[in-house]
């Protein structure tokens, strides 16, 4: 019976991968930009960065998704549900990336920052050439965890009509009345993603350890 729905479930799994692959880079870029704002010498940028993090981290992901799905059309912006969910995931997990990057930056020896400033490097070069490259070593594992959470968070698509893995397995359950089999398949799909991400993270950590 499962074989008759294999195409739909595989399509949902592919959509979950695409959601993750699109949302995580967005969260990474947004999080890095907000983290730079939070350590900026410009006070308005620091305040704006903190407000973003506090607001997003204290809001449910579903709330952000619903606001985008219904709010963007009201503002005259029409984008597919898939990209609304990508944007919601990127905005939500961007706040967590921000705090991860900021923690990694704090782990860099303060003396190196002072030395960079002493030789006349502007703030932008200090961040790009001194802080971020070294902070990345402390950020590999936390960023891997965020990537896994993005994949798991994509299951929210089942609540807003995106044909990802959870929605397809739920549809399979509604047709066959086999909830254990249906959601065991979904669990296996997410497990495959999580194990793959964990393996890549371990490889990167090993490479970073060698580079030290």
Query: For residue 16, is pLDDT > 90?
Result: yes
pLDDT at 4 (0 to 100): 63
Location of structure tokens 């971020």: 132
Provide the pLDDT confidence category of residue 20 given band limits of 50, 70 and 90. very high
pLDDT at 34 (0 to 100): 94
pLDDT at 209 (0 to 100): 66
Q: What mean pLDDT, rounded, does the chain reach?
A: 86
Average pLDDT (104-132) is 74
* pTM for the full predicted model: 0.87
Q: In whole angstroms, what is the distance from residue 25 CA to residue 23 CA?
A: 6
Residue-wise pLDDT for 138-162, tens only, equals 788 899 999 999 999 999 988 888 8
pLDDT at 52 (0 to 100): 95
Provide the pLDDT confidence category of residue 15 given band limits of 50, 70 and 90. very high
Average pLDDT (73-86) is 89
Query: 18, exposed or middle or buried, with CB in 10 Å at 0-12, 13-18, 19+?
Result: middle
Query: For residue 186, is pLDDT > 70?
Result: yes
């Amino acid at each position: 019976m499962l074989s008759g729905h294999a195409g739909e479930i595989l399509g949902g799994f592919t959509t979950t991968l695409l959601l993750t692959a699109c949302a995580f880079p967005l969260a990474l870029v947004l999080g890095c930009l907000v983290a730079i704002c939070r350590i900026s010498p410009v006070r308005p940028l620091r305040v704006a960065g903190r407000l973003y993090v506090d607001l997003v981290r204290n809001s449910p992901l579903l709330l952000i998704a619903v606001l985008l799905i219904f709010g963007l059309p009201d503002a005259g912006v029409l984008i597919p549900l898939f990209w609304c969910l990508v944007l919601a995931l990127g905005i939500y997990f961007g706040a967590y990336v921000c705090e991860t990057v900021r923690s990694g930056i704090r782990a860099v020896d303060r003396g190196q920052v002072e030395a960079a400033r002493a030789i006349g490097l502007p703030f932008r070069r200090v961040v790009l050439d001194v802080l971020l490259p070294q902070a990345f070593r402390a950020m590999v594992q936390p960023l891997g965890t965020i990537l896994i959470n993005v994949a798991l968070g994509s299951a929210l698509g089942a609540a807003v009509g995106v044909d990802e893995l959870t929605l397809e397995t739920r549809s399979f359950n509604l047709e066959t009345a086999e909830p254990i089999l249906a959601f065991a398949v979904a669990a296996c799909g997410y497990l495959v993603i999580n194990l793959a991400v964990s393996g890549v993270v371990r490889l990167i950590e090993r490479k970073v350890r060698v580079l030290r």
